[in-house]
């Protein structure tokens, strides 16, 4: 389900900024980005609840190999693949999105395994993600101009 566009506050600091900055991460500075809220309902397949996409990245991974990130030192969690006709695609997730929050939990400074765990909690039926992508920023920029 596509949610309205909203300004985000990822990481720990909540700082709303008019100016959308790049998605790169400057240590010590709050990160601001334009995000989209996506709500995905999990699909039961056998005994697993699946979401229908794949993630890559994390603070324990090598950021230089991330094909979707702009800044090759970005260690955030990115969506690397979206299963066609899966719950994620239906909800509007696109390949290359950077996941900023999952159900309120921060995803910008987590290991790969922690991210996987946050997404695959068995007692949650729906995950609400905050994702960001380049096209969002540009859309906002254009709309402001």
Partner 1 sequence: MDNESQYSGYSYKSSHSRGSRKHRDRRDRHRSKSRDGSSRGDKSVTIQAPGESLLDAESTRGDDRDDNWGETTTVVTGTSEHSVSNEDLTRVSKELEETSPLECKRFLGPVLGGCLGLFALFTPLAFLVLPQLLWREALEPCGTPCEGLYVSLAFKLLVLLISSWALFLRPPRATLPRFFIFRCLLMVLVFLFVASYWLFYGVRVLEPRERDYRGIVEYAASLVDALLFIQYLALVLLEVRHLQPAFCLKVVRATDGASRFYNVGHLSIQRAAVWVLDQYYRDFPVYNPALLNLPKSILSKKMSGFKVYSLDENSTNNSTSQSRAMIAAAARRRDNSHNEYYYEEAEMDRRCRKRKARLVVAVEEAFTHIKRLQDDDPAASSHKHPRAVMDPREAAQAIFAPMARAMQKYLRTTRQQPYHSMESILTHLQFCITHNMTPKAFLERYVSPGPTMQYQRENGRGRQWTLVSEEPVTSALRQGLVFSLRRLDFSLVVTVQPLPFLRIGEEFIDPKSHKFVMRLQSETSV
- Is residue 140 within 8 A of residue 20, CB to CB? The reply is yes
Give the C-alpha separation, 127 to 38, whole Å: 8
**104-109: long-range contacts (C-beta < 8 A, 24 or more apart)?**
104/128, 106/10, 106/11, 106/12, 107/10, 107/76, 107/77, 108/10, 108/11, 108/25, 108/31, 108/76, 108/77, 109/11, 109/59, 109/75
Closer residue to partner 1, CB minimum distance, 70 or 141: 70
Does 32 help bind partner 1 (rule: CB under 8 A)? no
Decide the pairing of beta strands 34-41 and 2-7: antiparallel
Task: Tell which positions 106-145 bind partner 1, by CB under 8 A.
Answer: 112, 116, 119-120
Considering only residues 6, 12, 13, 62, which one is a binding residue for partner 1 as defined by CB under 8 A?
62
Considering only residues 4, 27, 28, 64, which one is a binding residue for partner 1 as defined by CB under 8 A?
64
Considering only residues 55, 93, 100, 110, which one is a binding residue for partner 1 as defined by CB under 8 A?
55
Closer residue to partner 1, CB minimum distance, 64 or 84: 64
Considering only residues 5, 43, 50, 95, which one is a binding residue for partner 1 as defined by CB under 8 A?
50
Task: Tell which positions 73-102 bind partner 1, by CB under 8 A.
Answer: 80-81, 83
Kindly list the residues in this chain that would bind partner 1 in the complex (CB under 8 A). 50-51, 53-57, 61-62, 64-66, 80-81, 83, 112, 116, 119-120
């Amino acid at each position: 389900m596509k949610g309205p566009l909203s300004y985000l506050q990822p990481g720990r600091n909540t700082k709303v900024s008019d100016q959308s900055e790049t998605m790169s991460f400057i240590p010590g500075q709050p990160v601001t980005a334009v995000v989209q809220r996506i709500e995905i309902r999990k699909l039961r397949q056998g005994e697993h609840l699946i979401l229908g996409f794949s993630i890559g990245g994390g603070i324990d991974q090598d950021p230089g190999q991330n094909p979707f990130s702009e800044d090759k030192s970005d260690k955030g969690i990115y969506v690397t693949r979206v299963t066609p006709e899966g719950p994620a695609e239906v909800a509007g997730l696109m390949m290359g999105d950077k996941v900023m929050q999952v159900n309120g939990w921060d995803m910008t400074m987590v290991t790969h395994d922690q991210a996987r765990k946050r997404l695959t909690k068995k007692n949650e039926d729906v995950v609400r993600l905050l994702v960001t992508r380049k096209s969002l920023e540009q859309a906002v920029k254009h709309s402001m101009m």
